[in-house]
Structure 1
C-alpha cells in the first residue's frame, strides 16, 4: 500500500473525511485530524502544504470516489434504473441509521460550510457532484435514454437524494428517503416506458 509517506497521507485524508461527516468542515480542526490519524502535528503541512483546504479537498475526492464505487456496483447489479436508485437509498438509510443520524454526505457538508471561503474546496465539491451525475447519466444512456434526458434525470436523482439526506437528519427519520425513492422510481419507470415505446 505504498510507502510510509503515502500511508500517512491516506490516514490523514480518511480521518479528515470522518471528522467532516461528524463535526462539519469547520469543526474538523487540524489538531483533531492529527490526533485521529495518530500522526505528528507537523505532518499536515509537510504532506499538505496548502493546509486544511488542500486536505479537505482530498477528503472530498475520497468521498466522491467511495460513492462512485457504490454507484458502479449498484449499476452492475441493477436490472433497471429504479434498482440503482433503490440500492443507493438502501445504502443511505443504513448510513443514517447506523450512525444515529450523525453522518451525512461530506460533499454537501463542505459545500455549505466552506466552499465560499476556498476555491480549492468549491472546485472539489463541484467535481464530486459532476462525477456522480456523469456516472448516472452515462448509465441512463446505456438504457437508451437520450443524452439531454439522461443528464436531467441524473441531476434530479443526485440533487433529490442529497437534499433528502439533510431532511432525514433533521427529522431523525428515513421516511423521506423512502418517499423520494418511490417518486424517483416512478419517474424512471415512466421515462423508460416512453423510451421503449419510441423504439
Structure 2
C-alpha cells in the first residue's frame, strides 16, 4: 500500500491521533478505542499461546508503536525498509 500510493498512504487512525481530531467531535475517543482494541487483540492472542499477561500487554504496545512508527519512517524515507526491519525484529518476540 505504501509503494502503491507513492508513500502517501498511512494509518488514518494515527493521523487522527496526531491531529487531535480537532474537526471531528469524539474522534479522539474513537481513536483511543481502536488502538486499545488492536492492543487487546494482540495481547489476547499472545496469552492464548501461553505468554504471561504482563509481557503480552507490553509486547502488544510495542508492536503497535513499532509498526505505526515504521510507517511514518517509510513515508519519510520513501522506502519499506523501516517496516521490514520492524517485522524482522519483532516477529521473534511475538512467536
TM > 0.5: yes
RCO higher in structure (CA 8 A, sep ≥6): 2
Q: 1:125 aligns with which of 31, 35, 38?
A: 31
1:2-41 equivalent positions in 2, closer than 5 A: none
- For 2:25 and 2:58, how far apart are their aligned partners in 1? 26
Equivalent-residue separation in structure 1 for 2:25 and 2:69 (angstroms):
23
Q: Structure 1: state its 5+ residue gaps.
A: 1-94, 190-199
Q: Pick from 102, 107, 129: which aligns with 2:8? A: 102
Question: 116-125 or 140-149, which moves further after superposition?
Answer: 116-125
Aligned residues: 95
Displacement, 1:186?
3.1
TM-score, L = length of structure 2: 0.90
Secondary structure (helix, strand or coil) at the match of 2:13 reads: helix
How far did 1:147 drift?
1.1
CA RMSD of aligned residues (A): 1.6
Measured in 1, the distance between the counterparts of 2:92 and 2:42 equals 17
CA contact (8 A) 2:46 2:94 kept: no
Please, which of 162, 167, 181 is the counterpart of residue 68 of structure 2?
Answer: 162
2:21 aligned residue (101, 107, 115): 115
List per-residue Cα deviations over 1:3-54 (Å, max 9, x = no partner): xxxxxxxxxxxxxxxxxxxxxxxxxxxxxxxxxxxxxxxxxxxxxxxxxxxx
Q: Which stretches of structure 1, 4 residues or longer, exceed 4 Å deviation after superposition?
A: 116-119
Q: Which residue of 2 aligns with 1:148?
A: 54
| Structure possessing the higher radius of gyration over alpha carbons | 1
Decide whether aligned partners of structure 1 residues 119 and 151 sit closer, same or farther in structure 2, where only a CA change above 3 A counts: farther
1:99: Cα distance to partner?
Answer: 1.3
With the length of structure 1 as denominator, give the TM-score of the two structures: 0.45
Q: CA deviation at 1:188?
A: 3.0
The structure with more helix, counted as a fraction of residues: 1
* CA displacement at 1:118 relative to structure 2: 5.5
